[in-house]
Amino acid sequence: MTVEALTEYGFEAICMPDPDREITGVYIGDLLSWVMGRAKSGDAWLTIMSNINIVAVASLADTSCIILAEGVTLESDVIKTAEAKDINVFSFSGSCYDAAVLLSGLL
Amino acid sequence: MSEELKFHFIVDGDDFTSAGKASVQVKKNLRQLGLSPETIRRVSIAMYEGEINMVIHAGGGVADVTVTEDYIEILLSDKGPGIKDIDQAMQEGFSTASDNIRSLGFGAGMGLPNMKRYTDYMDIKSTVGVGTDITMRVNI
């Protein structure tokens, strides 16, 4: 499925500069080096981390999007950076587990 | 590519929020050179981990990237405190980062192991009180 289709399933787009990006898997984690070591290119990355460094990590690990669970949102300067670096970011009201279960049925 | 391409970066030690600038720029440059996405991913993640280490532990440093026909080489050099026990530092999960750094999602003790994981060659030269030089190579 594409990143854009997430909006139909309760994922709220915080910024979506690359809506056609294909989601090919899921990775869950808050420790950034684990994400860079283990996430695969194209994964949707589920996390509760919201500091500026997540944008660089998503860009370098080439994930298809960041999904912030537990209703976490971003500061406006982080949103700007994500837009500039072509990183899709969503917010989800449920837990990482809830989001993963939902995505498991969709992928 | 018949000639070597070189990129030089100064990694600012004070600015944690802009850490990653050099690796993101390298990613862009390598993309323009038409290298494979997997090669670019390996180089830029290894370099980012090194960059973050220099910011966390060494107050910054310099990064030099050389692109040849056969490989991409990353040289990271800092004048930080040095690494006391390299074997220990290479173990997954070993970290000397502060709680503040950990709260940002770093300091999981995966930086050096990731650098090794994503490169074909890695060499660490470090002297306590003098600094650390790391050479990494990713074959094309």
Domains and CATH numbers, chain A: 3-106 (3.40.1390.20)
State the Cα–Cα distance between residues B103 and B106, nearest whole angstrom: 7
A97 contact partners, CB below 8 Å, separation of at least 6: none
Q: Is A36 close to B17, i.e. CB distance below 8 A?
A: no
A61-87 average pLDDT score: 96
Q: What is the DSSP letter of A62?
A: T
Q: Is A62 close to B110, i.e. CB distance below 8 A?
A: no
Q: Which long-range contacts (CB under 8 A, 24 or more apart) does A22-28 make?
A: A22/A64, A23/A64, A23/A65, A23/A103, A23/A107, A24/A64, A24/A107, A25/A107, A26/A100, A26/A103, A26/A104, A26/A107, A27/A63, A28/A96, A28/A100
Domains and CATH numbers, chain B: 5-139 (3.30.565.10)
Chains A, B: CB contacts within 8 A come to 66
Higher pLDDT, B13 or B67: B67
Which alpha helices (H) appear in A1-107, and where do they start and end? Answer: 32-38, 53-61, 76-84, 96-106
**Closest B-chain CA to A58:** B45
pLDDT of residue B114: 95
Q: Which two tokens stand for residue A87?
A: 């990183």
B79 φ, ψ (degrees, to nearest 5): -110, 40
Q: Is B20 close to A56, i.e. CB distance below 8 A?
A: yes
From chain A, which residues contact B within 8 Å (Cβ)?
Answer: 30-34, 36-37, 41, 49, 51-54, 56-57, 59-62, 85
Q: Is A60 close to B37, i.e. CB distance below 8 A?
A: no
Which alpha helices (H) appear in B15-96, and where do they start and end? Answer: 21-32, 37-57, 86-89
**Closest B-chain CA to A56:** B20
Give the nearest partner residue to A51 out of B45, B48, B104, using CB atoms. B104
pLDDT of B129-138, one tens digit each? 999 999 999 9
pLDDT of B59-96, one tens digit each? 999 999 999 999 999 999 999 999 999 999 999 999 99
- What is residue A92's three-state secondary structure? coil
pLDDT of A9-67, one tens digit each? 999 999 999 999 999 999 999 999 999 999 999 999 999 999 999 999 999 999 999 99
Give the nearest partner residue to A30 out of B105, B111, B113, using CB atoms. B105
Q: How close A85 comes to chain B (CA, Å)?
A: 9
Mutation for A interface: B45, B56, B103, B119, most A CBs within 10 A:
B45
Q: What percent of chain B has pLDDT over 70?
A: 99
Give the nearest partner residue to A60 out of B27, B104, B111, using CB atoms. B27
Does residue B2 have a pLDDT over 70?
Answer: no
Q: Is A36 close to B48, i.e. CB distance below 8 A?
A: yes
